[in-house]
Amino acid sequence: MNQTVNQRDQEWLEDIFQSTWNEHFSDVKRVNHIRVEFGRRAKRRLGSISVDRNNPGQSIVRVNGWFRDEEVPEFLIRSVIVHELCHYAHGFNSGSKDRKHQYPHAGGVVRREFAERGLENLYEQQQQWLHKNWPSFISKRYTAHRKPVLSTRRKRSKLLRMLIS
Ligand SMILES: [Zn+2]
């Protein structure tokens, strides 16, 4: 018997990454190599792209360690990878010297990049899912022994503002 349970391991993450690149970013000049990994579990940071300190020819996309949890839909993980690849395509942490914009999030450039790549629906789905589910997802996991971290509407909306960047 060779039945495997769906596990969100490194291979699973790499498959999503690779298909996202192939389907939506294959036109982008690959300057640095990119690897993808699960980062730390975090309340606010969904993903990041950086250059490996020990190897400037290597970029690293990290996604929130909480994304191993099956309650987070796969499209959300894909949308976070797309977000980071938009930065890469714009020349941030990609090894490229040309940046298409002065700042990574200048004037909605990430959203526009999703749209130009035919991914506007994914962007919308991401926003809706985060608004609807992230505060409670996080509260459930951080409040076992403490006062709820997201007890007020203000805290919740602050969290969401920080998240979507
Ligand atoms: Zn960003």
Break the chain into its structural domains and give their ranges: 10-121
State in Å: Cα 73 to ligand 1 middle: 20
3-state secondary structure of 104: coil
What is the tens place of the pLDDT at every residue in 50-78? 999 999 999 999 999 999 999 999 999 99
Cα 6 to ligand 1 centroid, rounded to whole Å = 29
Instruction: Indicate the DSSP class of residue 140.
Output: H
- C-alpha 1 to ligand 1 mean position (Å): 43
Count the residues in the chain: 165
| Ligand 1 center to 12 CA (angstroms) | 23
Predicted confidence (pLDDT) at residue 1 exceeds the cutoff of 70: no
Place of tokens 């996604």: 63
123 band by pLDDT with thresholds 50, 70 and 90:
very high
State pTM to two decimals: 0.88
Q: How close is the Cα of 79 to the center of ligand 1, in Å?
A: 11
Per-position b or e across 123-143, b if 16+ CB within 10 A of its CB: bebbeebbeeebbebbbeeee
CB 58 within 8 A of CB 32: yes
What amino acid is encoded at 9 in this protein?
D
Mean pLDDT in the chain?
90
Rounded CA separation 121/45 (Å):
22
Whether residue 91 contacts residue 47, with contact meaning beta carbons closer than 8 Å, is answered with: no
Give the mean model confidence (pLDDT) for residues 134-153.
76
Tens of pLDDT, residues 94-113: 999 899 999 999 889 999 99
Q: How far is the CA of 118 from the centre of ligand 1 (A)?
A: 18
Average pLDDT over residues 138-152: 71
Q: Is a pLDDT exceeding 80 seen at residue 2?
A: no
pLDDT of residue 153: 72
pLDDT confidence bin for 35, thresholds 50/70/90: very high
CA atoms within 13 A on the CB side of 19: 10
CATH class label, 10-121:
alpha beta
Question: How far, in Å, from the CA of 54 to the mean position of ligand 1?
Answer: 23
pLDDT at residue number 159: 72
